[in-house]
Amino acid sequence: MTIKNYINGEFIAPIKDNWIDNYNPSIGEVYGQIPNSTKEDVAKAYEAAEKAFPTWSNTTLAERSRILLNIAEKISEKLDALANAEAKDNGKPLSLAKAIDIPRASSNFEFFANAITQFSSEAHETVGLNAMNFTLRQSIGVVGCISPWNLPLYLFTWKIAPAIAAGNCVVAKPSEVTPMTAYLIGEICNEAGLPKGVLNIVHGLGTTTGQAIIEHPKIKAISFTGGTATGAHIARTAAPMFKKLSLELGGKNPNIIFADCDYDKMLVTTVRSSFANQGQICLCGSRIFVEESIYERFKKDFIKKVAELKVGSPFETDTNVGALVSKAHLEKVKSYIAIAEEEGGKIVFGGEEIEVENFENGYYLQPTIIEVTSNQCKLNQEEIFGPVVTMMPFKTEAEVLEMANDVRYGLSATLWTQNLNRTMNFSKQLQVGIVWVNTWLLRDLRTPFGGMKASGVGREGGLEALRFFTEPKNVCIQYN
Ligand code: NAD
């Protein structure tokens, strides 16, 4: 299976004929090749985008919206094929790809197809000086979109849909670890009537292809989702070129459980917020803090429920936990389990690799629960991004708030309580971009999405994304 770049509506091989292997993590085998595109390929993609921009940015909102809705519909029509491709490329359960990843990719296009028809800008009358200001919100030009491997099509479309809805043309790069569904979206865009050059997809490593996108002098904005170290590198490169930047980075999210919570709902949701997508969601609650009075009960019940999760091939319908995305990532996650004891932790469940029948070389790991005694250990301070959570008890609100915030990340937090005052006080004081109270991963696409501190800069979602992908210009008119 050879993946090609999608440039100017056509599928083409990389100019320098460099290729890299694409793995199926559920069996640990190479199943295809993808381009490792160089700056020449990125330049070609840029040229196509630049050429398409004048027409696309002047296409009526109704027409842009219609094309985006077509793309959304075609994604839904191809649900099975796309979900299969995602499960094979990423290792995630097929059931999850069918229920979440692919429907959400379709919703991203549908949402921004509608949002762009409702987008408006401000006017300010300068009373007393006979002046009127209005804000023009214009398309930026050619923008770069770079996405990670954990929710491949879901996050790729979360960027390209608002970018093109706002009239920009795009040079996009999916993760080299999971390129397949981004490749398939090219064909869908052609079928849906997206004009040539509006979306261009170049494949390859971050250090070659990604680097060429962020360094390109004429790509005016970069929307990036990925690791914090990569985000810092992108900021160092792009900031002196004064590119507009949106950085959605890593997380180490607290899951704070008070004794007054709806216990059964909390327990079921906490299993999900810990291990959904093999724990490879930036929003997973990887640090679980439990009020002391229910700690032992929670520990027993949580272990029992997690033990019921079936680790297995992504393609079995009863699989809850699939394969990790790559051998390198599996080794990274295992390296944290290996230091659990020297960090003062105790593995109370899991910790071992699993051999799945007929899928022996796949990257399977037991969901793992580690009891820790301090929030200062590496297991609580560093992003593991796998099926590993820590848990520890707390006594007071002040103590748990301090621990929740005492980390370099600030993406999301989950709070379990029925107490309204506590809900409000924690919501105000938690240093995160998203607080879920008595729920997790409930997403309304109109809401701002993003993190504080080392979890990023800027917000995606709803009007925030349309604001990012447009340049505001104030026009001041004085009259007599
Ligand atoms: P990564 O940073 O390694 O890679 C992300 C993307 O950046 C890939 O496409 C990669 O090829 C590219 N890249 C790497 N080096 C680059 C460079 N020098 N220039 C330009 N592009 C470059 O991240 P990953 O391992 O793919 O994804 C996991 C990380 O993503 C985790 O830290 C996770 O928390 C984070 N994440 C964050 C969010 C969020 O919304 N905040 C969502 C999902 C994942």
Q: Are residues 274 and 388 in contact, defined by beta-carbon separation less than 8 angstroms?
A: no
Length of the chain: 480
Model confidence at 449, in pLDDT bands (50, 70, 90)? very high
Q: Report the SS3 class of residue 405.
A: helix
Catalytic residue among 248, 291, 383, 464: 248
Alpha helices for 226-366 (secondary structure H): 228-238, 263-275, 292-307, 327-338
Instruction: Give the mean model confidence (pLDDT) for residues 107-120.
Output: 98
Model confidence at 281, in pLDDT bands (50, 70, 90)? very high
C-alpha pair distances (Å), 456 with each of 212, 273, 380, 384:
22, 21, 19, 17
Output the average pLDDT for the chain.
98
Model confidence at 279, in pLDDT bands (50, 70, 90)? very high
In whole angstroms, give the CA distance from residue 372 to residue 258. 18
Beta strands (DSSP E) in 147-285 are 169-173, 199-201, 221-225, 244-248, 254-257
Residue with tokens 């996650």: 333
**Nearest alpha carbon, ligand 1 atom 10:** 206
Q: Looking at residue 368, what is its pLDDT?
A: 98
**To the nearest whole percent, how much of the chain has pLDDT over 70?**
100
- H or E element at residue 132: strand 131-139
**To the nearest whole percent, how much of the chain has pLDDT over 90?**
100
Task: Label residue 139 exposed, middle or buried (CB < 10 Å: 0-12, 13-18, 19+).
Answer: buried
Ligand 1 lined by 176 (C-beta under 6 Å): yes
- Report phi then psi at 175, rounded to 5: -65, 140
Question: Which own/partner contact pairs does 14-19 have at CB distance under 8 Å and 24+ positions apart?
Answer: 14/38, 14/41, 14/203, 14/204, 15/40, 15/41, 15/44, 16/40, 16/41, 18/204
For the chain, list the domains and their CATH numbers.
5-249+455-478 (3.40.605.10), 254-444 (3.40.309.10)
282 is catalytic: yes
Q: Looking at residue 195, what is its pLDDT?
A: 98
pLDDT digits (tens, 9 = 90+) for 463-474: 999 999 999 999
Ligand 1 lined by 245 (C-beta under 6 Å): no
Q: Which of 102, 89, 95 is nearest to 26 (CA)?
A: 89
Q: Looking at residue 122, what is its pLDDT?
A: 95
Q: At what angle do helices 102-118 and 79-90 cross, to 10 degrees?
A: 120
**Nearest alpha carbon, ligand 1 atom 8:** 175
Residue 309 contacts by C-beta under 8 Å, 6 or more apart in sequence? Answer: 271, 275, 320, 321, 367
Q: 3-state DSSP: the chain helix, strand, coil percent, rounded to 5?
A: 40, 25, 35
Instruction: Give the mean model confidence (pLDDT) for residues 12-20.
Output: 98
In whole angstroms, give the CA distance from residue 342 to residue 99. 40
Model confidence at 400, in pLDDT bands (50, 70, 90)? very high
Q: Looking at residue 465, what is its pLDDT?
A: 98
Ligand 1 lined by 149 (C-beta under 6 Å): yes
Model confidence at 137, in pLDDT bands (50, 70, 90)? very high
Ligand 1 lined by 39 (C-beta under 6 Å): no
Ligand 1 lined by 295 (C-beta under 6 Å): no
**Nearest alpha carbon, ligand 1 atom 40:** 248
Q: Are residues 390 and 288 in contact, defined by beta-carbon separation less than 8 angstroms?
A: yes
pTM reported for the whole predicted model: 0.98
Model confidence at 404, in pLDDT bands (50, 70, 90)? very high
Q: Work out whether strand 244-248 and strand 221-225 pair parallel, antiparallel, or are unpaired.
A: parallel
Q: Which of 150, 155, 208 has most ligand 1 atoms within 8 Å of CB, for mutation?
A: 150
